[in-house]
Every structure is written in structure tokens, then in C-alpha cells.
Structure 1
Amino acid sequence: MRTGINLFFLFGCTFWMLLNCGQNKSTDKKRLAIAEVSQKIDTTGNTIVTRFQVPEGFDRISADSNSFSSYLRNLPLKPAGSLVTYFNGDVKPNQNVYDAVVDLPIGKRDLHQCADAVMRLRADYLFQNKKYDSIHFNFINGFKADYANWRKGKRILVKGNKVSWKQNSQASDSAKDFWKYLEMVFSYAGTASLEKEMKSISLAEMRIGDVFIKGGFPGHALIVVDMAHKKDTNEKIFLLAQSYMPAQEIQVLKNPNNTDLSPWYGVSEISNKLRTPEWTFKKSELKRF
């Protein structure tokens, strides 16, 4: 739980795993059909696309080099075997949760949690491509925090439940000021607000950059960072990444449902729910920016 200015309380994720979501035995045959062979992890690879090979018979779904999809699958990774670090430097034990750690700084405050990591990846991509006007997120109370105003030197003032802009700085699009903008967003946005900003997507329409999200207090969010398919059947598999509570580095998740396919997940494995190491989502909770 975050504390600070009394606008509202935010909870990005939960400390508790949902242990009562059993697997559907009817998916066993589907799992076997997908996982023809166990895929290998190339420990020398320093990005998602170079670290994680696809199973035999699958090809990565094509993506334009300037797309959000390409940005995500090329996220930098820490050396194989690295453990996730919390905002305060403590280490999160693997506990069979993740297979890789994304090599991006997360700041020194307990802010970079689950929805924050999703917003950060989207914002980072837009910032790097100078699409400044497309960077905006809503606070829990509905206030629109757009980077275009922040870039002009305006800053967000929070007084009780009132939020407003005030010009009190020089115009800047430096990386340092951009991070300050993100930390303001992290402080007052979360799963509850982000879920409302996104549109629902069916599993059949899934693409890289889509987000499984449960808004609430607590809630959780994670993002699809890569996909592959069989060209003859269009059977799809995907990789997932998340942050969590307390604020921590982004991690590429294992698949707890199918060790032969892990870390890839199969779209056809999902009946009504998607079970991940630290949260279970309904299939209807897939969203898109």
C-alpha cells in the first residue's frame, strides 16, 4: 500500500497468490499438442527475442521494427540467473516465478508496481519515438495526466481531492524530468484507473502489447511481451512480463501450468482463466491501449 498525499490510496497488486484456481483437465491434450518439444533458453541472449527460443513448428509473429511489439520483444535482460531486485535493493527470491529479469531501472521509491510497469513500458516506447502527445494516463479520480503539459514545464498540484496544473518549471523533455512525470503517474494511477482506459480484446485478437488486468484494491496487471504462431494452424503462444508488490524489477514469467511449454503460454490452453505464478485472470480481462 502506498502512502502520501491524501488524494486516495492505491493498491497495484496483492501480496497473496490465489491458490484456489484449479486447472482444467480438458486442456491436457491441447498442452501436448502445443509443446511438441521442450524449448531451450539461450543464456547468452541479452534481450527477450534472443534469450527465449520458440518451440519447434512455431515462428515469431512478425512486427514492424518501429512498433510497440518490436520494442517489447527487444527489452534488455539482465544476465541469465539474475534475481529480481526490489526498489530498496532487497532481492525477491525466484520461487519458480520467473525466468528472466528486464534490465531497466525502477527508481528508489515503492512506486514501480504492476500497473506502473505496464504504463512505464508503454510510455518509454512512446518517449523514445518522440510521440510525446500520445503519453497520458488517468489518475484514480479521473484527472488526465498528459506528458505534453509536463514537458512544457507545468507540474501537477494535489490538494486534498483536487488536482490541477501549474506552470512552475522550464520546458524540458530530458530523461530525468520524464522519470519525474512517471513517478507522479505511478503515485496516483493504478490498476483501477488503467483498466478503465483500455479496451477489451478477445483471446483470438491477442497481440504483443496487450495487457491482462484486474482493476481494484488489490488488483494486478501484466503484459504480453512476445508471441509466436504456427503458420498452418495459426495456433498462438505468448510470453508474459510483470512487476509486483513491493515495487520491483520487471520479470518474464514462467508458465506454472505447462512446464514443457514454459515460459511460453498457449492461447488454446486458456478456457475461462489464465493462471500465472502470482495471479489468476479471467480471459475477459485481456485489454489493449
Structure 2
Amino acid sequence: MKIKFLFIAVILMVAFGFFSFSKTNNLIINIEGNTIQQRFQTPAGFVRQAESESSFGFFLRNLPLKPSGSNVLYFDGTVKFNRNVYEAVVNLPIGKQDLHQCADAVMRLRADYFYSLKQYDKIHFNFTNGFRVDYSKWRAGYRIAVKGNKTSWVKTAKPSYSYETYWKYLETVFMYAGTASLEKELKTVKISDVQIGDIFIKGGFPGHAVIVVDLVVNLKTNQKMMLLAQSYMPAQELQILKNPNNGSINPWYATDFGSTLKTPEWTFSSSQLKRF
């Protein structure tokens, strides 16, 4: 009876991610690496192509990572229950509210990129109702007034250029935008033309989005592989996804996956690849 109970307990722990038996090519993962580029080595025969230091691709490739083995935390500080979803955790704060979810994380990375370059006028997103929210206007002291489905700007604050003001802008975007609105802002690209910064997205309620944060190519065959990152519900830290389909190249994903891309918590079609 005790042995049977122990067996059942182990099965349940595996199902909920307390133990992981997924295969990983340890040659690919450098546990001492502190960024995506440092942590994840290229698979045999593949190389990273150079990215301009001012590019979105360079920004994503050099995102900071928490120490190897770190758990993904929800917005309230609790641990994500399923450890089998991700290979690494991006070391960025996500706030204390249940707002930093899948599309929000993608928009945050895009905004953080422009913020790092001080290109503030390029930070803007649309609410689900289509209302465009420019960070430059927020910085100037304008805030959002929402009444039913009617949205407008109201001058209620002094101009501020602090990071705290920037984060409040982002959380307002997170509150009123999502996969449905973000999908409409993006243009469709072919999987053969995939670039770092492209997004697999299914708009809807619910929907989901994951972002390509690195890319390698085989110069002989022109085959490409990518790394994917996501947030999810409830709001949680960004995570580099495991590849549940091929442990020998985990966490890289081959881009010649056919019509369906299976990630640990969502399945996309190749036609759902988009770009800012």
C-alpha cells in the first residue's frame, strides 16, 4: 500500500513539474551565462549572425537572466507551479499587480528597447478599443480617462521623466490592451523570413503570444533555429521556453516545424508569426 501511494505521489509531482525528466543537451547551456547570448550556446553547425548594437535583436539577445535554476515567480511572489515549461528566467521586474501577462510582456520588451535608446516618441500601443496611447503624451502629464468604451486624454499631472512614471504608463497599457489589440498592430511575416523580435500571436480572449529572443543559422543549409520567451497568466516573470518536441536541441526550436508550432503552454500555426 505504501509503495502504491508513493508511486502515485511521484506521478502527480511529475505532472505538476516538481520533477523534470525532459532531456536537455547540456553542451548548449552554459549555467554561468548571465544573458541569453551567454547562457545558450549555438547548436553544432549553427552560428549567430551579427546584430547592430542599436537593434531590437541585440537588445533581446542580451536580456539579463536570473541564475541558472531560478524559479519563475508570479506577481505576488509565489512560484509558478510547472517547472517543465521554461529553461531560464529573465531578470526584469514585473510589478506587483496581475498585469504583466503574455502580450503585455511583448509590449514591455518593445517599449523597454526604445526607452533604453531614449527614443520615447516611438513608444505607443493601442488599447483593445483602438485608442492609441503615446508615452510622449503620458510624459507630458496627460492621463487616460475611460468612460464605457470612450477613451480620452486629460491633463492631470505635471510632466515627469522618471522610470516610475514610465512603469505606470506600461501598467495602464497592460490593463487596456492585450493579444487582440496587439495582433492588429503587427504585420504578418513568413516563417522563412523570421527575425529576432518577431512574435507568434493568437489574438483573442483568451489568446497567447511568445516572442523570438534569439536566432541562429546554419550557413551551409540556411536552416534556422530560434529561442522563444513568454509571460503567461496569472502575471509572471518572462521565461525562456523549453522545447518539448526535441530535447537534443532544447531550448532551441527549428523554424522548419511545418504548419504547427507546439510550445509548452500553447500551440501556434506558422501563419501566426507577426512583426512590429
TM over 0.5: yes
Q: CA deviation at 1:191?
A: 0.1
Amino acid at match of 1:230: N
- The correspondence of residues 94-113 of structure 1 with structure 2, limited to 5 A, is 94-113=82-101
Show the 5 A alignment for 1:4-15.
none
Amino acid across the alignment from 2:264: P
Please state how far the C-alpha of 1:38 moved relative to its aligned partner. Answer: 6.5
CA distance in structure 2 between the aligned counterparts of 1:161 and 1:93, rounded to whole angstroms: 36
- Preserved contact between residue 83 and residue 94 of structure 1 (Cα < 8 Å): no
User: How many angstroms does 1:267 deviate by?
Assistant: 0.8
> Is the deviation greater in 90-99 or in 197-206?
90-99
Q: CA deviation at 1:151?
A: 1.1
- Pair 1:116 & 2:104 matched: yes
Query: Alpha-carbon deviations, 1:213-269, whole Å to 9, x = none?
Result: 00000100010000000112211000000000000000000001101011000012x
Matches within 5 A, 1:11-50: 39-50=27-38
Are residues 1:279 and 2:266 paired? yes
Between the aligned partners of 1:185 and 1:101, the Cα distance in structure 2 is 23
Shift of 1:93: 3.0
Structure 2 length-normalised TM: 0.90
Give the alignment's Cα RMSD to 1 decimal.
1.2
- For 2:19, the equivalent position in structure 1 comes to none
CA distance in 1, matches of 2:222, 2:160: 46
Contact 1:39 1:54 (C-alpha < 8 Å) held by counterparts: no
Number of aligned residue pairs: 253
Residue aligning to 1:288: 275
2:176 corresponds to:
188
Q: Which 4+ residue blocks in structure 1 deviate beyond 6 angstroms?
A: none
Structure 2's unaligned 5+ residue stretches are 1-23
Aligned ranges for residues 50-129 of structure 1 at < 5 Å?
A: 50-129=38-117
Asked if 2 retains the 8 angstrom alpha-carbon contact of 1:138 and 1:189, the reply is: yes
SS at match of 1:122: helix
Compared CA separation, residues 267 and 228, structure 1 to 2 (3 A): same
Determine helix, strand or coil for the equivalent of 1:85.
coil
TM-score (norm 1): 0.86
- Aligned residue in 1 for 2:21: none
| Secondary structure, counterpart of 2:213 in structure 1 | strand
Aligned match of 1:140: 128
- Work out the percentage of aligned pairs sharing the same amino acid: 62
CA contact (8 A) 1:101 1:252 kept: yes
Q: Which of 146, 149, 153 is the aligned partner of 2:141? A: 153
- CA 1:38–1:267 in structure 2 vs 1: closer, same or farther (change >3 Å)? farther
The answer to whether the 8 Å contact 2:71/2:83 transfers is no
* C-alpha distance in structure 2 between counterparts of 1:247 and 1:85, whole Å: 9
Deviates more, 1:271-280 or 1:92-101: 92-101
Q: For 2:76 and 2:95, how far apart are their aligned partners in 1?
A: 9
Structure (1 or 2) with the larger CA radius of gyration: 2
Structure 1 residue runs of 5 or longer lacking an equivalent are: 1-34
Taking CA–CA contacts closer than 8 Å with sequence separation of 6 or more, which of the two structures ends up with the larger relative contact order? Answer: 1
One-letter code of the match for 2:272?
A: E
* 1:178-236 CA-partner distances (Å, limit 9, x unpaired): 00000000000000000000000000110000000000001000100000001122110
Q: Distance in 2 between matches of 1:111 and 1:267?
A: 30
Q: Which residue number corresponds to residue 219 of structure 1?
A: 207
Query: Contact conserved, 1:83 with 1:93, CA < 8 A, in 2?
Result: no
